Amino acid sequence: MSAQARPVFDEIVHAPNRLQVCAMLAAVEALDFATVREALAISDSVLSKHVKVLADAGYVHTAKTPHGSRTRTWLSLTDAGRTALDGHLAELRRIAALATTP
Amino acid sequence: MSAQARPVFDEIVHAPNRLQVCAMLAAVEALDFATVREALAISDSVLSKHVKVLADAGYVHTAKTPHGSRTRTWLSLTDAGRTALDGHLAELRRIAALATTP
DNA sequence: TAGCTAGCTTTCCAGTATGGAAAGCGATCC
DNA sequence: GGATCGCTTTCCATACTGGAAAGCTAGCTA
């Protein structure tokens, strides 16, 4: 799966919080907004803005589903998002490899 | 050697250009200013500022040596720098591991 | 129907980071 | 005394972050 993606440094994915969001989402089908927000310990507004950045980039898909009486927003990584994350992680590995004396 | 450093996310190391500088320096004894600047394809001022940030954090040591008639500035990772880099890479690996479905 | 609430969104408002260009500076070289 | 090299620092403009607060919508509740 994330075997050999083309190493591409992706600024959108690199931001600390977004990197974590992407990594969390990559492991599962979907996660709801509140779960991610609590995992990262950031405010609603901040997560909302990061999700918007990822969604605008086409990396994350959001879906609102009725949950009990309320609505719940589910976040999931799109194919493009997975490709971007894999590529970015590959680039990080490449850079990390520089840190190892030949 | 960078086997199991304590995973600590380091903002100073995380910035793209600085991450590369640290990774490059980790692999060798030292590199000179111009070599690093060309490798990253950034301006003098930008590299100088990043080096200053790393030096202020105690992560990089700079030394000027006479080279021919001119002076050359050598950059090298300090022990603290290596520890920070190793810890940061460990944290990135930890995050990356989240991206792998259990 | 008029509130009230949960669950995001958007706006507002700093504070910080980044980058290039240009000006500086000390040490040669001519 | 210039001109250069090799960084440093300053200047300036843009972009990113984050929290607080105001907004919005849908579904209760009285």
- Which tens digits make up the pLDDT trace of A55-78? 999 999 999 998 888 899 999 999
Mean per-residue pLDDT of chain B: 93
Which of B1, B36, B60, B98 is most worth mutating to test chain A (most A CB atoms within 10 A of its CB)? B98
- Which tens digits make up the pLDDT trace of A1-14? 545 888 999 999 99
Contact predicate A53/A63, CB 8 Å: no
- Which tens digits make up the pLDDT trace of B7-39? 999 999 999 999 999 999 999 999 999 999 999
pTM, two decimals, is: 0.92
What residues in A contact B5, CB-CB < 8 Å? none
- Which tens digits make up the pLDDT trace of A16-45? 999 999 999 999 999 999 999 999 999 999
Chain D nucleotides with an atom closer than 7 Å to a protein C-beta: 5-10, 16-22, 26-28
C-alpha span between A91 and A101 (Å, rounded): 18
The continuous run of DSSP H or E covering A27 comes out as none
C-alpha span between B89 and B92 (Å, rounded): 5
pLDDT at residue A3, rounded to an integer: 57
Q: Which nucleotide is nearest to A53 (CA to C1')?
A: D16
Nearest to A16 by CA among B53, B87, B91, B2: B91
C-alpha span between A20 and B81 (Å, rounded): 24
What residues in B contact A2, CB-CB < 8 Å? 99-100
Judged by a CB distance cut-off of 8 A, whether residue B99 touches chain A is: yes
Judged by a CB distance cut-off of 8 A, whether residue B2 touches chain A is: yes
pLDDT at residue B24, rounded to an integer: 97
